[in-house]
Structure 1
Amino acid sequence: MDAIFAPRSVAVIGASSDPKRIGGRPVDFLKRHGFAGPIFPINPKSPVVQGLTAYPSISEAPETPDLAVIALPAPLAVKAVEDCAARGVGGAVIFSSGFSEVDSAGAALQARMVDIAREGGMRLVGPNCLGIANVRHNLYATFTPGVETHLPRSGDVSIVSQSGAFGSYCMTLVRMRGLGVNIWATTGNSCDVDFADAVAYCAEDENTRVIMGYLEGATDRDRLIEALELARAKSKPVVMMKVGRSAVGAEAAQSHTASLAGSDAIYDAVFRQYGVYRARSVDEMFDVTYACSGSSSLMNGDRLGLVTVSGGVGVLMADEAEEYGLEVPALPDHAQKKLKEVLPFAGVRNPVDVTAQLVNQIDLLETNMDVLFGDGDIDGAIIFMSTVGLVSDLNEAIRSGLERSREKYPGRPMLFCSLTEPEGRAAYERSGFIVFEEATRAVRAMAALRYFARSFQRLRESDPVPDLPKLSPLPDGMVNEIKAKALLAEAGIGIVRETLAETPDAAAAAADEMGYPVVLKIASPDILHKSDIGGVALNLRSAEEVRSAGARILKLASEKVPDARIEGLVVAEQAAPGLEAILGVAQDPVFGPVVMFGLGGVLVEALEDVSFRVAPFGPAEARRMIDEIRARKLLDDFRGVPKRDIDALAEALARLSAYAAHHGAALESIDVNPLIVGAQGQGAVAADAVIIPAGPEAP
């Protein structure tokens, strides 16, 4: 990859003497923008290109270049890759279109090109891409107009985009917002070097601090996850714009999990699982990137301090902080008293409303920061100054005071929010402060700093995936729920006692032996949602009730699903009262088996209050998964109902994830619905389960 992103020499194949043509732009950019190494234009029709000696072919260049930029029609581009591989070129960037993005013939041409490159030990970016850049090395192997006249300054933001146009837009916006760029990569068709490869390279690059990504869709689960894990291991924030939020995932109505697992929900889960911040707008993406690039520290706790000259804006920021999971705690009484002594008219609870008095006594700001950080134990602060930032002589005093506060309280980010003139903003930024003009954007940026701090902290936590004993192979087809639960029990998931009875009389006898109360259910591999047809009877307390319910269930099954295979009746002990949860597994076409969690049994499908994770994961990740749903508070003490056994629930989710990962693509889906979660210390048991193995066409 160094041959692509840090080459010592570059050849441009299809080089044009016209610097406005696609083949002429990279020659012009490399030459004009100061690339330090040799540039070899390759053009069989011209001995000189843009003042540089040109060569008829790559084989006739005076030395082997590290990188070749190919700007030729598709068939000629394949021949150029073949020539480069024969010469020993390390990598190539291919602008050419007409490959897999067009038709099957183009896809075959692209596959041939990849084979040639791999045989020659060569890496390819593209085809159908806008190119790459390394600003630090003055390398612009691209034809984007975005670097024609205005270059980004060298910095610590690296940009990886599947879209060339959006990637160019991002690089230009980064420049216009005053940030510096390091590596820029557009991957196009991603025939070899894909989005994940470029992210991984940036994660390893010592000059990259933040990675900005634009993703339309991943093609290789393992490469993407490894890249995201690497970025987190290197403590490098990844800020992602993932397009395609509409639900276009699985439509298999047979499985609750599959019907809820739209593709975008899975990407959301992957990003949360591996610490990627997903931006919902271009503004948010740039705000978060700006904060991560410019802040000297992440926010290592949830406690946010707000200092404001406007009480209303303080409330606005507090509302936004709560929305984004930050606390705005009241300052301790002694801290409030201390502030009241110097600011008698101020609101001192937090937000701290310093009023217009601050303009007369600018040194009060430093006093405020001392109280917030020193007495209030605040983890980060936002200082809202309205239009004060437009006053140049006040800015110098404010900035100096904030610098002293930062020295006294390192590791606690401070964001400055005010209208400013360009030179005033630049002065704050030179001092290492993040400046926002709009208050809620500052809060969201601070929340992102907290998000990444939590993500990086997780790397220091031990969260092993459960080690499962030897498991039975999956059956060839669907099995009854007794067999399904027996298979899950092998993974350590709790189940209720149960037996299969062929007739209502046999069911009554089994219930007598088991003890009451019992649950009775239809047993059929063709009836997955038993309650929908009246195929479940609860709280049966006598043999007669069992016989009557059994006869009724069998009659309803034959009437409503006449073609269903009926194996009999399941007689199960009725689980102790608890909260119903649903656990599931579905196959995602990119990420493989994913695990779902929700509360409420059949209601979860209507509410769609669920969370997902890619299998496998440990109990700590399962707890984060549990915490994401809107109904989470039902697991705690709630209206006289005791706290539920969250440890047992998290263990069940982790074990289900290990089971799903073990079977991989051989598994189509699992539904555990309901899982009865008892009171704290009483465990969790599966009351019903469905396992659907993948069909014979599955890999």
Structure 2
Amino acid sequence: MTDRPDVATLRPLVAPRSIAVIGASDDPKRIGGRPLGYMIRAGFSGPLWPVNPKRETVQGLPAFSSVDALPGAPEACIVAVPAPMVPDTLEACAAKGAKAAVVFSSGFAEMGEEGAALQARVRAIARAGGMRVLGPNCLGIFNAHCDWMATFSSSVDHELPTPGPVSIASQSGAYGSHVFHLMRQRGVGTGIWITTGNEADVDVADAVAYLVRDEDTKVIVAYAEGIRDGEAMRAALTDAAAAHKPVIFMKVGRSAIGAAAAASHTAALAGSDRVYDALFAQYGVIRVDTTDQMLDTAYAAARGRFPNGDRLGIMTISGGVGVQMADAAEDLGLQVPPMPEAAQKTLKALLPYAAVRNPVDITAQAFNDLSLITTNMRLMLEEGGYDVVVAFFTMVAASRFIADDLIKTLEETRERFPDKSIILSLIAPPEIVRHYENGGYAVYEDPTRAVAAAAALMRFGRFFARPPESAPPAMPAGAPSVPADALAEHQAADLLQAWGVPFVDRRFATSTDDARAAADALGGRLVMKIASPDILHKTEIGGVIVGIEGADAAAEAYATLMTRAADKMPGARLDGVIVAAMAPEGVETVIGVQRDPTFGPVVMVGLGGVLVEVLGDVAFRLAPFGVEEARRMIAGLKGAKLFEGVRGAPPADVDALAELLAKVSVFAAAEGARIESVDLNPVRVLPKGRGVVALDALIVPAEKT
């Protein structure tokens, strides 16, 4: 969208200096009374003006009969009035000079056409008045750093939020409250909490973009059912990646039922789930599927250590649990390499009956001599070179006989290795857990969840350590645009070749004589295909003949193909026949482009050529991108090892495939508005150094509007 206000305009919404509450209630239990009561308790330092025409005071503060009667312009207004009154109220706020408003009221787009029209008025008023509006149908916002509590959430009722490194952006108010409450139980403070509801104006992309710029926010947690402005979300995540600020995202609506529920809840478009996976992979976002995953990842990330690697060291007092943790590490793509031989010998001398490779089983003997823990940790971090160490101590860590000494031992270890990531798995009362946390350790009861947290930290670390992204290739000079009318294969191939896509040598024939001439010119074994913009899948009508040799065979194949096409597809436009050289052997892949309604053109690469739909081994990225991102795309395929050469086959030219993907992404970005989809299928990846070659091309132009 091109009419989005700058992110800086959100400051009065997120950190206002003066506040009016329209529909303020003297009852602190009511929706219109809660935010006022919360801010009075918190000690908000700026002007706080309740608007209620029926009262002289509200919760001990002087009340005003209307927005017009306020003694000054509030930076932000809380609107707690019935839906039909919201537009007039917002107009009054804008006229008074307010720069932001939070609308709790429901009864808008989530309720059908009439509500959608009311919501459109809200958006228009916001734009015309230069005012940012959160909601409607939202649970509001708080900023614990400045005591701004524009919410009626019960999660704030019993205990006001404590400022911390994590901030939350959520379309769902109830779920956002749920996550905030659980985060607080884990001892992690939430600095800023934004729930966007129906997103008439401010949306999740706005919230994320603001939190990226907020210096107090170190970790961003986001929840969405659908994204309205893909370009804005992509820009926000680009900035987060550049700032090395971790983003943990739960995007729901994977299933058809979930997507339908999302649409009915917030009138959001759920979009293609694979495209969201591509977006998150491209910008280093960790996507979570469960609340536990979200909390575990944010809790670990809040400590701010993101090791660049994938080597996990495991220390345990149980051999069986060590195996369990190693299995979890392998499932998560981590390496669990053995300790160096010298380190193993040192440990074996101290613990003759211990397993000392990795996992290292220090046995219960370590609790008779805590120096064994110190020694082992030192060896793992200094000599083992592990990026993260996870130590399993179970309930022994809370034993009244050793807890104090173990806490002291681990504090000394942390002092010696202040920048290393060490995660503990133990069971202890909250007050003891807090001691370990205060010593700089993340603590998990479940050892496999501790391993998953380690994997998340390393994923962030590897992403943050990447060199600057390579730029997409330059657009070829004079490259043609996609026409509005349907294209036959030879026309699509000619157009894409001008954009840098290599094709097999080919000729176009409109007669048997043309076919003879093409066969003589090309020589060798040939493939011939019917050319028609109305026949998209030629093999299904017998529209492809392979292994043709010589001019006579080419003329016969031409006649056969034209007859078959006329019989099987009467009425189809038959332009002629493509005569092409048989391509050399290589790894069969497919490259495609699809125009996503939210994020625009998306590029796909997959294994299997014509079998891609059966194998389902594909990767996506948003266009455009550079060669390095294309390499990561390819590496993400489950069957990527095929490119290394299997069963005697030579290694394939992955470099050429990556370069082609980047070129296709540039084409997709430039021509995205004119195309619905593109298929290059198959694309044969030849042996290393010999390039790639496309055998077939299909361009489906965008529907005319």
C-alpha separation in 1, matches of 2:131 and 2:26: 28
| Aligned partner of residue 101 in structure 1, secondary structure | helix
Matches within 5 A, 1:155-304: 155-246=164-255, 263-293=272-302, 295-304=303-312
- Which residue does the alignment assign to 2:613? 605
C-alpha separation in 2, matches of 1:232 and 1:352: 35
Could you tell me which amino acid in structure 1 is paired with residue 599 of structure 2?
F
Is 1:306 equivalent to 2:314 in the alignment? yes
Displacement, 1:548?
4.1
Q: Please point out which of 608, 631, 634 is paired with 2:642.
A: 634
CA contact (8 A) 1:146 1:172 kept: yes
Displacement, 1:115?
2.4
CA contact (8 A) 1:499 1:571 kept: yes
Displacement, 1:192?
1.1
Q: What do residues 23-61 of structure 1 show as CA deviations (whole Å, max 9, x unaligned)?
A: 111121111232222211101111111211100112211
- Which residue does the alignment assign to 1:354? 362
- Which residue does the alignment assign to 1:110? 119
C-alpha separation in 1, matches of 2:413 and 2:486: 65
C-alpha separation in 1, matches of 2:409 and 2:537: 65
Q: What do residues 98-127 of structure 1 show as CA deviations (whole Å, max 9, x unaligned)?
A: 222223333222222322232222111111
Is 1:464 equivalent to 2:471 in the alignment? yes
CA contact (8 A) 1:249 1:262 kept: no
C-alpha separation in 2, matches of 1:392 and 1:572: 80
Identify unmatched segments of 5+ residues in structure 2.
1-9, 260-269
CA contact (8 A) 1:152 1:172 kept: no
Displacement, 1:248?
9.0
| Aligned partner of residue 211 in structure 1, secondary structure | strand
Q: What do residues 543-583 of structure 1 show as CA deviations (whole Å, max 9, x unaligned)?
A: 34434443443333233323322222111111111111100
- Which residue does the alignment assign to 1:254? none
Q: What do residues 178-217 of structure 1 show as CA deviations (whole Å, max 9, x unaligned)?
A: 2101000111111111111111111111111111111010
Displacement, 1:541?
2.9
| 1:641–1:406 Cα change, 3 Å | farther
C-alpha separation in 2, matches of 1:397 and 1:526: 78
Displacement, 1:249?
13
CA contact (8 A) 1:504 1:547 kept: yes
Q: What do residues 443-497 of structure 1 show as CA deviations (whole Å, max 9, x unaligned)?
A: 1111110111122223x33411110123112122122222211211122121111
- Which residue does the alignment assign to 2:56? 47
Q: Please point out which of 513, 526, 531 is paired with 2:521.
A: 513
Displacement, 1:505?
4.8
Give aligned pairs, total: 685
CA contact (8 A) 1:247 1:262 kept: no
- Which residue does the alignment assign to 1:71? 80
Q: Please point out which of 573, 579, 602 is paired with 1:565.
A: 573
Q: Which moved more, 1:654-663 or 1:170-179?
A: 170-179
CA contact (8 A) 1:164 1:186 kept: yes
Is 1:422 equivalent to 2:415 in the alignment? no
| Aligned partner of residue 179 in structure 1, secondary structure | coil
CA contact (8 A) 1:101 1:107 kept: yes
Could you tell me which amino acid in structure 1 is paired with residue 650 of structure 2?
P
Displacement, 1:296?
4.3
Q: What do residues 603-623 of structure 1 show as CA deviations (whole Å, max 9, x unaligned)?
A: 111121111111111111111
| Aligned partner of residue 212 in structure 1, secondary structure | strand
Displacement, 1:591?
0.5
Displacement, 1:504?
4.3
Displacement, 1:692?
1.4
CA contact (8 A) 2:518 2:579 kept: yes
Displacement, 1:368?
0.9
| 1:41–1:145 Cα change, 3 Å | same
CA contact (8 A) 2:427 2:445 kept: yes
CA contact (8 A) 1:174 1:180 kept: yes
| Percent identity between the two aligned chains | 50
CA contact (8 A) 1:516 1:541 kept: yes
Q: What do residues 407-455 of structure 1 show as CA deviations (whole Å, max 9, x unaligned)?
A: 4444321100111222211100111100011011011111110111122
Matches within 5 A, 1:336-375: 336-375=344-383
Instruction: Please report the RMSD computed on the Cα atoms of aligned residues, expressed in angstroms.
Output: 1.8
| 1:559–1:690 Cα change, 3 Å | same
| 1:396–1:300 Cα change, 3 Å | farther
Is 1:97 equivalent to 2:106 in the alignment? yes
After TM superposition, the runs of 4+ consecutive aligned structure 1 residues lying more than 6 A away are none
Displacement, 1:316?
1.1
Identify unmatched segments of 5+ residues in structure 1.
251-260
| Aligned partner of residue 394 in structure 2, secondary structure | coil
C-alpha separation in 2, matches of 1:493 and 1:248: 40
- TM-score normalized with structure 2 length: 0.94
CA contact (8 A) 1:22 1:71 kept: yes
Displacement, 1:525?
1.2
- Which residue does the alignment assign to 2:66? 57
Q: Which moved more, 1:89-98 or 1:406-415?
A: 406-415
C-alpha separation in 2, matches of 1:465 and 1:392: 60
C-alpha separation in 2, matches of 1:247 and 1:651: 35
| 1:120–1:361 Cα change, 3 Å | same
Q: What do residues 343-370 of structure 1 show as CA deviations (whole Å, max 9, x unaligned)?
A: 2111111111112221212111111122
Q: What do residues 147-194 of structure 1 show as CA deviations (whole Å, max 9, x unaligned)?
A: 111223221111111011111111111112221010001111111111
Q: What do residues 203-256 of structure 1 show as CA deviations (whole Å, max 9, x unaligned)?
A: 111111111111010011111111111222222111111110126999xxxxxx
C-alpha separation in 2, matches of 1:249 and 1:164: 18
| Aligned partner of residue 154 in structure 1, secondary structure | coil
Is 1:555 equivalent to 2:563 in the alignment? yes
Q: Please point out which of 21, 32, 45 is paired with 1:36.
A: 45
C-alpha separation in 2, matches of 1:593 and 1:407: 50
- Which residue does the alignment assign to 2:4? none
Q: Which moved more, 1:523-532 or 1:537-546?
A: 537-546
C-alpha separation in 1, matches of 2:635 and 2:433: 39
- Which residue does the alignment assign to 2:597? 589
- Which residue does the alignment assign to 2:504? 496
CA contact (8 A) 1:247 1:264 kept: no
C-alpha separation in 2, matches of 1:599 and 1:248: 29
| 1:247–1:113 Cα change, 3 Å | closer
Displacement, 1:592?
0.7
CA contact (8 A) 1:247 1:263 kept: no
| 1:110–1:327 Cα change, 3 Å | same
| Aligned partner of residue 499 in structure 1, secondary structure | strand
Matches within 5 A, 1:145-160: 145-160=154-169
C-alpha separation in 1, matches of 2:234 and 2:404: 46
CA contact (8 A) 1:389 1:421 kept: no
- Which residue does the alignment assign to 2:419? 411
Q: What do residues 377-415 of structure 1 show as CA deviations (whole Å, max 9, x unaligned)?
A: 211110011222121442333333333333444432110
Q: Which moved more, 1:392-401 or 1:369-378?
A: 392-401
Could you tell me which amino acid in structure 2 is paired with residue 601 of structure 1?
G
C-alpha separation in 2, matches of 1:65 and 1:219: 29
Q: Please point out which of 310, 325, 330 is paired with 2:333.
A: 325
CA contact (8 A) 1:151 1:175 kept: no
| 1:206–1:595 Cα change, 3 Å | same
- TM-score normalized with structure 1 length: 0.95
CA contact (8 A) 2:523 2:550 kept: no
C-alpha separation in 1, matches of 2:649 and 2:532: 35
Could you tell me which amino acid in structure 2 is paired with residue 419 of structure 1?
I
